[in-house]
Amino acid sequence: MPRALDEALLKELECPVCMEYMVPPIKFCTNGHSICSKCRWGVQCCPTCRARFSEIRNVTLENIVRSQKYPCANRQSGCLELFTIEHIAKHNAACVYGKINCPFTLNTNCTWNGVKNDLIEHLKSEHQANFFESTSSFRSSNFTAKIVNIISFFGELFVQYKRPRDGRLYSAFKLIGTNSEASKYKCEFTLRAANGIEQISKTFLVRGYSEDWETIFNSGKCFCLDEAVVSHFLVQYELNLTVTLYRV
């Protein structure tokens, strides 16, 4: 459980000019009002009391800022994650509770952009062939093209990306959610050969939506097989690959 946020303290840590959380170094006016380093250079005098600024840093306040955990800008929409001052801006820019691009931008020219709650309607109308509802398992047979599939299950949306690259076939799942929500799920990839005897089964954790696919594919935390191996598992030119999601 995240500890209760000290709303009064958070309010104090907002810059009076840009209303964002102040990032060190923090300067203050001769009466003690603070301002963020970005806004300091845009004003002649203190916006609160008109006194001039000193060049002294408020080290105590900077230490408080560094030890504080900050809520996501989309907290009202349901994102309950907390971040340090170094990570909050990066998270806000990629947060799945804000506006996101359609996951099918990976292999189509889809330009949809909106909030997660509106995405299902878009998937139903535009990407029906690769959108699986109320099933935690499906068969994924094409192995020559970049494929995106989306599963709606457990009340969540999961994106599978499968992609051949440099003689290997890669695949992984992301939850359209935060890293800690994603770590509650795992995905199992099972390849079966035509002879009905040989099979390969691999299981990985689902990744958070803010991670990028290249990083996931390079990390080894995903399904990855040589195409020579994959070819052995082709059944009439198609893969017999079953992917299944589970709760951890």
Binding site for Zn ion (CB under 5 A): 15, 17-18, 29, 31, 33, 36, 39, 46, 48-49, 51, 72, 74, 79, 95, 97, 102, 104, 110, 112, 126
Residue 157 Cβ vs Zn ion, minimum distance, rounded to whole Å: 13
Q: Which is nearer to Zn ion, 15 or 206 (CB)?
A: 15
Q: Which is nearer to Zn ion, 47 or 246 (CB)?
A: 47
User: Do β-strands 27-29 and 34-35 pair in parallel, antiparallel, or remain unpaired?
Assistant: antiparallel
- Picking from 162, 163, 153, the residue whose alpha carbon sits closest to that of residue 185 is 153
- Give the CA dihedral 52, 65, 21, 210, nearest 10 degrees: 150
Tell me, what amino acid is at 151?
I
Residue 110 Cβ vs Zn ion, minimum distance, rounded to whole Å: 3
Instruction: Give the span between the Cα atoms of 235 and 237, in whole angstroms.
Output: 5
* Chain center to CA of 98: 11
Q: Which is nearer to Zn ion, 126 or 156 (CB)?
A: 126
Q: Which is nearer to Zn ion, 71 or 191 (CB)?
A: 71
Q: Which is nearer to Zn ion, 61 or 234 (CB)?
A: 61
Residue 199 Cβ vs Zn ion, minimum distance, rounded to whole Å: 34
Instruction: Give the span between the Cα atoms of 167 and 237, in whole angstroms.
Output: 17
The helix, strand and coil proportions of the chain, stated in percent and rounded to the nearest 5, come to: 25, 35, 40
**What residue spans of the chain are helical by DSSP H?**
7-12, 37-40, 59-67, 88-94, 116-126, 179-182, 213-219, 227-232
Residue 161 Cβ vs Zn ion, minimum distance, rounded to whole Å: 14
Residue 224 Cβ vs Zn ion, minimum distance, rounded to whole Å: 27
Q: Which is nearer to Zn ion, 42 or 203 (CB)?
A: 42
Residue 179 Cβ vs Zn ion, minimum distance, rounded to whole Å: 11
